[in-house]
Structure 1
Amino acid sequence: MPNEDPEVLASVRRYVLPDRRYMKLHGWNIRHMEDRHREAFGKSLTKAASQVTDAELIPLLKSDWRARLVAAWLIAMGGREEYRTLLNKLLLKHEGSNDLKGFCFTLTQFGTRIDAEMLSRYLAESLSSPHPLTAQEWALGGLLHLDARLRTTYATEFTGKDGLWARWANAEPGTEAKDLINYLSSFSDAHKAPTRNQSEGDTGDPLVAYRSWRSRLPSASWHILASEAARVKIDSRVDELLSNFHLMQAEPLSVATCKTCRSVIFSAKSEAGAWGIAKTSGRAERRIEMFQSYTELWESLTRHAC
């Protein structure tokens, strides 16, 4: 998993790694779960979709396919239609595979004629070019799903013996793609997150935020934690320290440690701030610094002195 950038690593740890969430969002995997596991998984997605901020989603969308797939689902379940234009542009790049399936699913969940037109454009381009099989089945399934919901005929140009799909695949489309999207849409609808309020981590236009996002790495004096086992161990120490400062239930996730003073950079879900530096060595010097954004944290790191 991506682990070189603190912003990306924090979002991956919070939203992608739990229960290997990204593995469950492939194909029919959700349907194959036991009922109680499916319900628990749905609830965990609802919580994540209601919590995740733009400042966390953008690094996920800048990451690998696993993070982008999860981000697409969180956007869909949160009904965050402000991401429509960005997802459309990412889809039309034809880069990736599983993440493109997530983008198709999200546009399907938004459920408007605009989304159907976006899926139609992607499908027309991808079926008329030498691109390998990526998300065409999900796009077609999405169009068939939307046609049934909107009483439209967007999928007509692709289906039938003379349709683009038959010419591309040398076969008429079956019902599996539509059945899959219908099932996943029902699951998503059943676990849709409540409407969010604006938060400190919301950045305005996602497309502008995506284009302006740049990786900002701490200096060489900081060691990025590459092992999840090591991260979890340090998390418990930071959590204990936060409790001493009455910052309860901050859900700290450690991402880096100072090679000299053993201070820890962590992300948090706390009213006191989204990021922090915990000084864990020297009882008399133990302290916490909290920051509202990664930008504020990064500026502090440039002045960090052990």
Structure 2
Amino acid sequence: MRNHLHEPALKAVVERYVTPGRRYLRLINTPFLSDPAARQWFGRALAEDSLHITDDELALLLSYEWRAQLTASWLVAFARREAHRERIGELLLANERVYAGRGFCFALARFGTEEDARLLADYLHAFLPRTDRGEQDSAMGALSYLDTRLGTEYSARFLGETGPWAHWLHARFPSDRADVPVSLDQSRDLIRTQCSYADHCMEALPPTH
């Protein structure tokens, strides 16, 4: 198992972008989105880092464990570093890291093209039948968000009362539960909020000369 403490280049990029302030923990459940005091400073730091980090450094983080991958995907998303689309799509479909998939879905939604919608649809086709682990709700929210923006219908194949999304919800959250903690509207709204937040943070940066 890799350990960044034993790889100088990886150690430097992890300590620069991932671990300060335990940034990766904030990116799991995004508490800063509902905290006015944190929204500005946290987003400013993400925006600046998304422009400062190199493609080689992003590739290093994406090759490592979930904390690094989650952080890298947010930095990729903020600055729309589309050179990493293919790698992010591969990692999402591999489904090897818990939590990192949330960032991958956000990045694809932020890129905002039909190619990204197809990558999300490929993931859902493979993983909606499974309930062991994955980020199906994030992917479904991102795909629905892209359909709304693009005027496409990639999510339609998964919807309906007897569709794969409904089966996944029923399997993941038994019908005797009074509270189902996820819905398509909630998942789509979270992705929309994240993308709007990224837009605002990037636009707020001072112009470069």
TM-score by length of 1: 0.59
Aligned partner letter, 2:116: D
Who is 2:164 aligned against?
Answer: 164
One-letter code aligned to 1:134: G
2:190 maps to 180
User: Which residue number in structure 2 is paired with residue 115 of structure 1?
Assistant: 116
Question: What is the alpha-carbon distance in structure 1 between the residues aligned to residue 60 and residue 97 of structure 2?
Answer: 17
Q: What aligned pairs does 1:50-129 form with structure 2 within 5 A after superposition?
A: 50-128=51-129
Provide the residue aligned with 1:20 in structure 2.
22
Write the deviation string for residues 126-176 of structure 1: whole angstroms up to 9, x where unpaired.
113x46232111100001111111111111111220211112222794421
Of residues 165-174 and 89-98 in structure 1, the stretch that sits farther from structure 2 once superposed is: 165-174
Aligned partner of 1:119: which letter? L
Correspondence list, 1:239-254, <5 A: none
Whole-Å Cα distance in 1 between the matches of residues 120 and 184 of structure 2? 18
1:9 corresponding residue in structure 2: 11
Distance 1:40 1:30 in 2: 10
**Equivalences for residues 199-278 of structure 1 within 5 A:** none
1:144 aligns with: 144
Counterparts of 1:131 and 1:68 in 2: how far apart (Å)? 22
Q: For 1:183 and 1:27, how far apart are their aligned partners in 2?
A: 13
Higher strand share: 1
Whether the 8 Å contact between 2:141 and 2:184 is mirrored in structure 1 is: no
Aligned equivalents of 2:153, 2:105: Cα separation in 1: 18
Per-residue displacement from partner, 1:21-44 (whole Å, max 9, x unpaired)? 1111123422232x2321001110
Single out whichever of 69-78 and 158-167 deviates more from structure 2. Answer: 158-167
Whole-Å Cα distance in 2 between the matches of residues 149 and 158 of structure 1? 18
RMSD of aligned alpha carbons: 2.0
> How many pairs align?
193
Q: Determine the structure 2 residue equivalent to 1:203.
A: none
Q: In terms of Rg, which structure is larger?
A: 1
Measure, in 1, the Cα distance between the counterparts of 2:134 and 2:87.
19
1:29 and 2:39 equivalent? no
Show CA shifts across 1:97-118 (max 9, x none). 2111111110110000110010
1:28–1:180 CA contact under 8 A, matched in 2: no
User: Which runs of structure 1 show a deviation greater than 6 angstroms over 4 or more consecutive aligned residues?
Assistant: none
